[in-house]
Structure formats: structure tokens, C-alpha cells
Structure 1
Amino acid sequence: MRKIITVIFCTIGVIFMACKTEPDSNAVKKEVLNIHDKLMIDGEKVVKNRMKLDTILKSDKLKSAKDSITLINLISRLNKADENMMDWMHFFKHNFKGKTEQEELDYYKSEMIKIRSVEDGYIKVTRESDSVLKVYNVLPSKNLKMEQHKH
């Protein structure tokens, strides 16, 4: 009877170990790349908003030196957000020959944290630039996906 109970518990243990809830490295990698793809589209908006703000900066629409400084700082932050994305892409590794599944998983989890940080930066700076553009009666740029849905 004890042997049967031991076998049952061992079988249950093996089943639970096989049904791990943690995603594998390929799933995490796919999610990281999906975020990257979305950010590539968002990056277009960052560039367009930066160009519109630069146009305002060079125009006669500015009311004060303080407004000029605000725009210069915002343009700088848009540039930095774009640079952060380029840096992330430059250092991202796609292949892991000779690495274990756990090493790949750990790497892609760390990349997930980095790409989420880039995403947060894009979100904050595009919201702020959208608001500033509206103040100057300039329509903020739309994401490419949004424009495509209108057709």
C-alpha cells in the first residue's frame, strides 16, 4: 500500500513539474519582439512630433523665452527616447548558441525590463509632446496603425 501511495505522489510530482507556469525563453523572446515592433511604429510618432516642435521653435509662435526652453527640453527628451530605442536594438541579441534554456530565459526577461523602460519613456514623452502641440494648435502625429485603420 505504501508503494502505491509513493508511486502516486511521485507521479503527481512529475506532472506538476512538467506543467510549469513559467514561460519558456521563446515565448518571452516573442513578447519582447512584439513590444519592439510596436515601438518601431511609436518611434515614427516621436520623430514626427519632434519635427513639428522644431518647426514651432523656429517660428514666431513662441510667447516667451520660457516657452522656447520648454520646447528645447521636450525636443531633447524626444531625441533621448529615440536614442534609447536605438541603443536597445543595437545591443539586443537574437541568438544563443551554446546557452541553456535558463540562460536564454534570464536574458530575455532582462531584455523585457529594458524594452518596457523604453516603452514607458516613449509613452511619457509622446503624451507630453502631444499636449504641447495642442497648445500651439498643431495636430499631434498619429501612429501608423491608427492611420491605416481609417482606410
Structure 2
Amino acid sequence: MKNKITLGFCLIGILLSACKTEPDAKAVKEEVLNIHDKLMIDGGKVMTNKMKLDSVLKSGKMKSPQDSVKIADLIENLNQADERMMDWMHGFKDDFKGKTELEDLNYYKSEMVKIRKVEDDYIKVTKASDSALKEYHVVPATKMNMEHHKH
């Protein structure tokens, strides 16, 4: 009887350990692509805010020389965030095929880290540019505005 119970627990343990608790490469890839799709919309906001800040800078209505430097720095940061997104997209292999499932999983996990960094950059730079635009009574781009302009 004791052996049957032990055997039963062993079988349950084997079955539970056979269940995947970690996502597979396909699931991670899908999440990476979903983040990419969201960032494409955010990228439109980044570029619209850049153009609006450029207009503010060229307007000559700066409150101080330091504000001119701040706006120019924000424009540069927006450009850099957009360039990092472009660099990531050019380096991403949508059709990556490793030798094993683990290699595929590791590749897409590493891409997840990279795309999350781009996402963090976008969040920081859009918050900063939104604030600067509001200081000059310019309405920052919104996702809704960007969706409306999609063709």
C-alpha cells in the first residue's frame, strides 16, 4: 500500500514537472511584436511632439536661453529614441530559427529586453516633451490623434 501511494505521488510529481511553466518562444515572440505594434503608434507621438517642439523653438518665444537649450535637448532626445526604435527594428529577426526551442526562446527573451528599453525611452521622452509643450501652451500629440491620422 505504501509503495502504491509513493508511486502515485511520484507520477503526480512527474506529470506536474512535465507541465511547462515558462512561456514558449512563440508566446514571447508574440509579446515582443505586440509591444512593437504599440510603439509604432507611440513613435508617431514622439515625432509629432518633436515637430511641435521644433516649432516652439523656432518661434522665438522662449522664456529664457536655458529654455531654448532644454527644448533643443528634448528634440535631440526624441530623435535618439526614434533612432533606437529604428535600430531595434532593423536588427530584429522576425523569422529567427535557432537549432533548439531554447535558442529560440533565449533570442526572443533578449529581444524582449531590448524592446522594453525602447519602450522605457519612449515613455520618459514623451512625458518630458508633453510637459515642455504644455509650458508653451501647445497641445501634445495624443494616441487618439495619432490613430485618427493613420491611413
The answer on whether the counterparts of 2:97 and 2:104 sit within 8 Å (CA) in structure 1 is: no
Letter in 1 for 2:133: L
Query: What's the CA shift string for 1:93-126, capped at 9, x where partnerless?
Result: 1123352111111111111111111000000000
How far apart in 2 are the matches of 1:146 and 1:86?
19
How far apart in 2 are the matches of 1:59 and 1:139?
16
Task: Return closer, same or farther for 1:12/1:145 CA change in 2, 3 Å cut-off.
Answer: farther
Task: Return closer, same or farther for 1:76/1:92 CA change in 2, 3 Å cut-off.
Answer: same
How far apart in 2 are the matches of 1:29 and 1:76?
31
How far apart in 2 are the matches of 1:17 and 1:122?
39
The answer on whether the counterparts of 2:41 and 2:147 sit within 8 Å (CA) in structure 1 is: no
Partner of 2:56: 56
Runs of 4 or more consecutive aligned structure 1 residues displaced over 6 Å after TM superposition: none
State the SS of the aligned residue for 1:22.
Answer: coil
How far apart in 1 are the matches of 2:61 and 2:25?
51
How far did 1:90 drift? Answer: 0.6
CA RMSD of aligned residues (A): 1.7
Partner of 1:65: 65
When structure 1 is superposed on structure 2, of 130-139 and 89-98 the one drifting more is 89-98
Task: Return closer, same or farther for 1:79/1:146 CA change in 2, 3 Å cut-off.
Answer: closer
How far apart in 2 are the matches of 1:94 and 1:144?
28
Query: Gapped runs of 5+ residues in structure 2?
Result: none
The answer on whether the counterparts of 1:25 and 1:104 sit within 8 Å (CA) in structure 2 is: yes
Partner of 1:39: 39
Partner of 1:77: 77
Query: Gapped runs of 5+ residues in structure 1?
Result: none
TM-score w.r.t. length of structure 1: 0.90
State the SS of the aligned residue for 2:142.
Answer: coil
How far apart in 1 are the matches of 2:46 and 2:104?
31
The answer on whether the counterparts of 2:25 and 2:104 sit within 8 Å (CA) in structure 1 is: yes
TM-score w.r.t. length of structure 2: 0.90
The answer on whether the counterparts of 2:45 and 2:146 sit within 8 Å (CA) in structure 1 is: no
Letter in 1 for 2:45: K
When structure 1 is superposed on structure 2, of 97-106 and 74-83 the one drifting more is 97-106
